[in-house]
Structure 1
Amino acid sequence: MILDPLMIMGIGPFPKMGIKGAALATIIAQFTVTVIFIYNSKTRELFKDLNIFQPLDKDYINTIFKLGLPTSLQTGLFALIAMVIAKIIAQWGPTPIAVQKVGTQIESISWMTAGGFSTAISAFVGQNYGAGKWDRIKEGYRRGLMIVGTIGIFATCLLIFGASPIFRLFIPYDKEALGIGIRYLRILGLCQFFMTIEIATQGAFNGLGRTIPPSLVGITFNTLRIPASLILSSTYLGLDGIWWSISASATLKGIVLPTWYILLLKKIPQLNNKRGANENDRIQERVFTDN
């Protein structure tokens, strides 16, 4: 964040490098963070015995692979889908591409904030799932939804009612870009509440060790953006049809995924109780046989 404007515009000791400056700033930042992590892994108590170069344990690798593969597929496919959507948008020229880039950064005020709370919800649910405290899981999820839902409502109001002044901060003089940007923010503003709910629920699923449901929902509805964009953009909606396809898919994800999670919460404790009862029966049977 600090190096970007300095290296792009050539402020202070840095020469003006434009887009190359942005790339270098990213590399320097990531390299610095990596060095700090390696240094802390050797000095902090938590990581003092950590050796990142030691042979890998197959059981750990299998578990990490099982949990991480669905999410990684979702992320990778999301990037591919975004490129296809960008190609569709490019039919209207370079201005809409630039507008979407700026609009996405503005919109990130909600989904990046919700992502932070999603991580907290994942940790909280995972801790209580291990302890079998289902009441705390349900209450923690409910409180988490209240927090991210409030963020989503705030973002909705901000993007819908403040679209014009917000976008003017970034592109003040181009009337075409300004008009497209205002419509983009207002259409995407409608889905902010549902999007934050979906992100929070994804964290709750991860806390239960079930990464497939959020990935399945995400991949399905993100993929549907492509045909929806093609169909809607061919109507009188034009370019706005693409924005509506993105907003609609995000809304559907925010409805389907929480519904799936709530149904799962009702089912898992019963399954665990049955397993526990069956295990107790087997233990008592062995004790009786031994005696």
Structure 2
Amino acid sequence: MTNKELHKEMIRIAIPVFIGNLGFLLFDIIDIFWISSLGTDTVAGVASAGFLDWALGSFMGVTYVGCSSLISQAVGAKNQKMAFDVAREAIQLSLFIALFLMLLLFCVTPSLLLWMGLNPSAFQAGYNYFKVIILGLPIFYIFMLTGQIFYAHGDSKTAVGILSVALVLNAILDPFFIFGWGPFPKWGVSGASFATVLSFFLSLFLRFWFLRRKNYIDSLKTFFTFSTTYFYKILSIGIPTASARVIWSMVYPLLSTIITRFGMEPLAGVTVAHRVEGFAYFAAGGFSTAVSTLVGQNTGRRDFEMVKRIAYEGRFLITAVIIPLSLMFLLIPEFLVRFGANDPQVISFGASYLRIIGILELFLGWEMIFEGAFNGIGKTRPYMLISIPLTLGRYPLAYFFVNMCGFGVSSIWWAISISTGLKGLLLSLRFNRLMSKEHET
């Protein structure tokens, strides 16, 4: 395969994933638009519950990362039975975990929301929203997992197409269940989360129909056959990556406790800036998925020279994508932040964040490319051992800058940027070392 053909294949997989991620962003905007009419406290409660939702989505990687890795390897090895068995066992294992999480979250969610310092009205809104999400957890979990089965086969287009159906349906149903339009009940903020659960439940039928039609899974009758052959492998691959992602999702609320010492404007500014930065993150996520899929398939073929080449060509492509975005962050950050804010102070803080992270933003792309490569090979411990300490290190470094050195809020942005740079660089070096060992064997 020539470099041009490889680039074309990676872009074919990456673009639908990128579009799907943008769809999530657009849906969040629409969702908040409807919810905002219920009051500021309701928005605050839902936003706080969103942190829990974010951590929950990261935790789901416990099974879906391993599922995707093993199925892509089975596809490369042309072992259809293994692909079928992994898919079935991953779905069964995910259902067990989802049921356990439901029980756990019903017990701990009130305490977690109170820990965030919400007033009674915001707390009630957040809990009413999230308890419906908890009830729908098995649906969300299996929806995410089935998407990874499509990705493992290199079929991101179908997966994202069905995701788009779910998001559009959700956006349409939101006002009906929030405000009780027509014959529908008026459930307020609970209606927003119910619309989400219902939309993904209906779209899950589409997922299974296409999975069976494309022969990505065995007959649905076989799902009543229980086995644990791949349980250990699925978890051993998924737990390290999921752990790193959960830690990443928890660090930002921790950093917020330092940011808010400078007022609400810096927090608002970085929140808007994160949405702008999301374009770089989503692009990197698309190419990370492409790298994971192709690396997994070539690992199944035992073609480690091609594995190495895919990872490095992925790094080349994401570099070409991120550099123009980094230049925009450096040169016109105020212009970008104005799309989400009109307060001069909020714009100033958001622009400051973009300008600082723009210096090392390239390494965000590298980090995600090599996360995908380690996932595809099925050796995720090196990624975890680099990612977790450096992600956790953001908090003590920011604390040191602010409390010990007396630096301003921009020093927190530097703590984030420095850790991003180190993660991208060290993961690149660690992958090269791993490939050298594979070549020797």
TM class, shorter-length: 0.7 to 0.9
Amino acid at match of 1:202: E
Aligned counterpart, 1:160: 330
Looking at structure 1, the residues matched to 224 and 257 of structure 2 have their Cα atoms a distance apart, in angstroms, of: 44
Looking at structure 2, the residues matched to 237 and 44 of structure 1 have their Cα atoms a distance apart, in angstroms, of: 57
- Rg larger for: 1
User: Which of 214, 239, 245 is the aligned partner of 1:69?
Assistant: 239
Q: Classify 1:42/1:113 alpha carbon distance in 2 versus 1 (closer, same or farther; 3 Å).
A: same
Q: CA RMSD in A?
A: 2.7
Aligned counterpart, 1:285: none
Q: Is the 8 A contact 2:304 2:438 kept in 1?
A: no
The alignment status of 1:192 with 2:361, answered yes or no, reads yes
Query: SS where residue 220 of structure 2 aligns?
Result: coil
Aligned counterpart, 1:243: 413
**In the TM superposition, what are the counterparts of 1:99-248 in structure 2 within 5 Å?**
99-172=269-342, 174-234=343-403, 235-248=405-418
Give me the TM-score of the superposition, normalised by structure 2.
0.56
Looking at structure 2, the residues matched to 32 and 91 of structure 1 have their Cα atoms a distance apart, in angstroms, of: 44
Amino acid at match of 1:97: L
Shift of residue 28, structure 1, vs aligned partner? 4.9
Shift of residue 121, structure 1, vs aligned partner? 0.8
Looking at structure 1, the residues matched to 31 and 222 of structure 2 have their Cα atoms a distance apart, in angstroms, of: 31
Q: Is the 8 A contact 1:125 1:204 kept in 2?
A: yes
Q: What CA deviation, in whole Å up to 9, does each residue of 1:101-148 have, x standing for no partner?
A: 211111011111111111111111122222222332222222111101
Any gaps of 5 or more consecutive residues in structure 2? 1-25, 38-170, 180-187
Shift of residue 29, structure 1, vs aligned partner? 4.5
Aligned counterpart, 2:80: none
Shift of residue 269, structure 1, vs aligned partner? 2.1
Q: Classify 1:169/1:249 alpha carbon distance in 2 versus 1 (closer, same or farther; 3 Å).
A: same
Looking at structure 2, the residues matched to 52 and 238 of structure 1 have their Cα atoms a distance apart, in angstroms, of: 59
Q: Single out whichever of 39-48 and 191-200 deviates more from structure 2.
A: 39-48
Amino acid at match of 1:196: G
Any gaps of 5 or more consecutive residues in structure 1? 272-291
Q: Classify 1:30/1:9 alpha carbon distance in 2 versus 1 (closer, same or farther; 3 Å).
A: same
Aligned counterpart, 1:280: none
Q: Is the 8 A contact 1:4 1:25 kept in 2?
A: no
Q: What CA deviation, in whole Å up to 9, does each residue of 1:213-272 have, x standing for no partner?
A: 11121101001001101011233531111111000000000111100101111111212x
Aligned counterpart, 1:94: 264
Q: Classify 1:139/1:165 alpha carbon distance in 2 versus 1 (closer, same or farther; 3 Å).
A: same
Aligned counterpart, 1:34: 204
Q: Single out whichever of 245-254 and 234-243 deviates more from structure 2.
A: 234-243
User: Which of 21, 31, 34 is the aligned partner of 1:7?
Assistant: 34
Q: Is the 8 A contact 1:233 1:240 kept in 2?
A: no
Aligned counterpart, 2:432: 262
Aligned counterpart, 2:45: none
Q: What CA deviation, in whole Å up to 9, does each residue of 1:169-188 have, x standing for no partner?
A: 1112x111111111011011
Looking at structure 1, the residues matched to 379 and 319 of structure 2 have their Cα atoms a distance apart, in angstroms, of: 23
Q: Classify 1:5/1:186 alpha carbon distance in 2 versus 1 (closer, same or farther; 3 Å).
A: same
Looking at structure 2, the residues matched to 129 and 41 of structure 1 have their Cα atoms a distance apart, in angstroms, of: 23
Give me the TM-score of the superposition, normalised by structure 1.
0.83
Q: Classify 1:236/1:87 alpha carbon distance in 2 versus 1 (closer, same or farther; 3 Å).
A: closer
Q: Classify 1:233/1:32 alpha carbon distance in 2 versus 1 (closer, same or farther; 3 Å).
A: farther
Looking at structure 1, the residues matched to 312 and 325 of structure 2 have their Cα atoms a distance apart, in angstroms, of: 20
Q: Is the 8 A contact 1:8 1:20 kept in 2?
A: no
Amino acid at match of 1:73: S
Looking at structure 1, the residues matched to 326 and 192 of structure 2 have their Cα atoms a distance apart, in angstroms, of: 30
Amino acid at match of 1:243: W
Amino acid at match of 1:4: D
Looking at structure 2, the residues matched to 169 and 181 of structure 1 have their Cα atoms a distance apart, in angstroms, of: 11
Shift of residue 53, structure 1, vs aligned partner? 5.1
Amino acid at match of 1:178: I
Percent same amino acid at aligned positions?
27
Q: Is the 8 A contact 2:319 2:365 kept in 1?
A: yes
**In the TM superposition, what are the counterparts of 1:14-25 in structure 2 within 5 Å?**
14=175, 23=193
Q: Classify 1:163/1:264 alpha carbon distance in 2 versus 1 (closer, same or farther; 3 Å).
A: same
Looking at structure 2, the residues matched to 51 and 88 of structure 1 have their Cα atoms a distance apart, in angstroms, of: 53
Q: Is the 8 A contact 1:40 1:47 kept in 2?
A: no
Q: Is the 8 A contact 2:269 2:348 kept in 1?
A: no
